[in-house]
Structure 1
């Protein structure tokens, strides 16, 4: 088997209930009709599997079935999202893309010996560092080199442990490795990213994507909150740092940034597209649970039993909002005062429900707090079991249409084709 290689453009897609793989793949097919090849990557974390009570084999089965049904003859992958050494085992057979998450290890001081060895090995980083494609230069002192290495080496070594466990089970050429540094408190500087990439090369992890942290808020399922110009500066520096690392640290030539967007970061999508074009490089855009929200929108549009269930999901989520929000506290901003009461929602029409939920910031009835609560409320639908899944299947056409349109028009088109989202 030849080495698995991730093409320049790829999109990570969440599918909470493993029912929308065909609709998601259809969005990639639409992109191919416009001359743009997008590699679909179905991602689902251990946390999501645990909440729902699902297994990674279901994600793989759904992806394989969609590929067969739609005659997709291009690459596709299943991502063990935000995996750790403790949770990787159940993903070893069904997955071929691994997002290795070491954020919890960042800041744990490396040993003095490891730090000193790294500083000696990478003394060429000392002095003025220039990155192609950006005007800024960076001064790297001995103290900066050592302090930064001490901050990140433990995390990279942990990534190496996870990588080697996967490689031993699957073979080093049979999966795509990604290292995730995004779920931490502060954005990495270009110098920090260079040092991280040097350490990853030292660990002999042939990463094909890396997920850095950016400034601003990347809340689940809603738009970016922050300075878009600052984001564009940061992503340009990341592209430049990655290009430097490919040249100097002998990392894979197709290494690219992975943007863990939490979905729907419409305001920064033009910046991502422009920066990709500027550097003639690719990107992995990872979406999250908006497919689950499109399921709810589709059910509400279907009216009748579908709308009734969508209202019931909200009522249950509203009643258990503290429990549901706790695991996602760092990536949601819900204003309780803006949450309508279940009694009010129960009186809504299909159109009122969908206008409040669908992410259209120009719509006066759009409610980001309502949307974010339902985003983390998928556990409610999971507890409904076959009642929820049966309604998805009986309303497949309207649900699938919403899933495909959302993924293609609001994500793929603006990021990869440069078209304004709608």
Structure 2
């Protein structure tokens, strides 16, 4: 199973927007861009809303049949580990192996020395001609990186081999995620990591490193764009070199997690795609749930009322809701409007407050981030939320499709 050049991960918290999401890929095709959908949902998200992994594939399959989608599509077991992978094995063909918890785990000096001794090619100058940069790498550096990441790479190998033992190596796509950690990986560190993953015989088709800057949920990138540009293109060059050195799959590409709404770095990614012909995998995750809230707000009536209730509950339980996402959100509580203030808004104002159009004076990134992590509040409302999604399917679906096409796919792939 070989992953295509351009793949785009879409989350669907409540499994009601697969058709609306797929319409975005059809519109991209009409614009001359072949982008492949990857529906993703993590074990944590399933637990929060009380769903089962099989529901993602079922919803996607219905949409594919309904819209006559004849191209590839995937279902991603997002951020799985050995303890959580089993329920995903039958219904997923893309596995994001998350080893962030294993970074820095103790590993013996013998294992580290054995790795360094077997990879003398890592020592000396790491030249990246396509970026006109080079790094000087010595044994001390490789030893330090191995001490930090070798345990995580071995954990990835264990998880990969377990999945392969059940599904067969030819029947799934493997991604390794190292983005949910404190420190970004430099290009030479990434080369050491790729050497270690190759040693584990992982057929790695995409890797998600941690880049410099903040990739907060549902809002724009915060950081130095020029630095991201350098890192991204150097990582692309590292991957190309690692493929030659270690026999990794030729289609190996970068994955950008929490990639939704990172408008300021989309030109960097687009330029690399267009100038260098690289592939990319980008995950958008929870923005679909926000588009549902925007659609319900604009629908008015009970939809607007429930959206206001969700905001009120979220504001009152902000610490509880934000705790699991503390490293990927940045909310200023003083910039959050009161429950009473939001209670007086009409649907258009609440929708404009949530919709990610930075030039709109009503847009509030703090409200957007808070509600991004509040999807389990909607889950607590049970059938009421789902019934409102069904009753307002057209207006909600229009928001979902437009968001993906206009604010994501066009800037990423067309310009």
Asked whether the two chains share a fold, i.e. TM above 0.5, the reply is: yes
Q: Secondary structure at the match of 2:96?
A: strand
Listed one character per residue, the Cα deviations across residues 212-260 of structure 1 (whole Å, up to 9, x for unaligned) are: 1001111000111111111111100110000001111100000000000
Q: Structure 2: how far apart are the matches of 1:59 and 1:258? A: 21
The match for 2:376 is 379
Q: Secondary structure at the match of 2:180?
A: coil
Matches within 5 A, 1:149-188: 149-188=146-185
Q: Structure 1 segments of 4 or more deviating over 4 A?
A: none
Equivalent position to 1:290, from 287, 291, 297:
287
The match for 1:335 is 332
Equivalent position to 1:244, from 235, 241, 246:
241
Q: Secondary structure at the match of 2:75?
A: strand
Q: Secondary structure at the match of 1:41?
A: strand
Alignment of 1:233 onto 2:230: yes
Q: Report if aligned partners of 1:212, 1:258 keep a CA contact under 8 Å in 2.
A: yes
The match for 1:271 is 268
The match for 1:193 is 190
The match for 1:219 is 216
The match for 1:132 is 129
What's the offset of the Cα at 1:205? Answer: 0.3
Q: Structure 1: how far apart are the matches of 2:309 and 2:200? A: 50
Alignment of 1:143 onto 2:140: yes
Q: Structure 2: how far apart are the matches of 1:68 and 1:300? A: 30
Q: Report if aligned partners of 1:133, 1:279 keep a CA contact under 8 Å in 2.
A: no
Q: Report if aligned partners of 1:6, 1:254 keep a CA contact under 8 Å in 2.
A: yes
When normalised by structure 2's length, the TM-score is 0.99
Q: Which runs of no fewer than 5 residues in structure 2 stay unpaired?
A: none
- Aligned alpha-carbon RMSD (Å): 0.9
Q: Structure 1: how far apart are the matches of 2:121 and 2:333? A: 53
Alignment of 1:393 onto 2:390: yes
Q: Structure 2: how far apart are the matches of 1:74 and 1:262? A: 23
Q: Structure 1: how far apart are the matches of 2:248 and 2:330? A: 38
Q: Secondary structure at the match of 2:174?
A: strand
Q: Report if aligned partners of 2:300, 2:347 keep a CA contact under 8 Å in 1.
A: yes
What's the offset of the Cα at 1:262? Answer: 4.5
Alignment of 1:110 onto 2:119: no
The match for 2:307 is 310
Q: Report if aligned partners of 2:331, 2:369 keep a CA contact under 8 Å in 1.
A: yes
Q: Report if aligned partners of 1:239, 1:279 keep a CA contact under 8 Å in 2.
A: no
Alignment of 1:281 onto 2:282: no
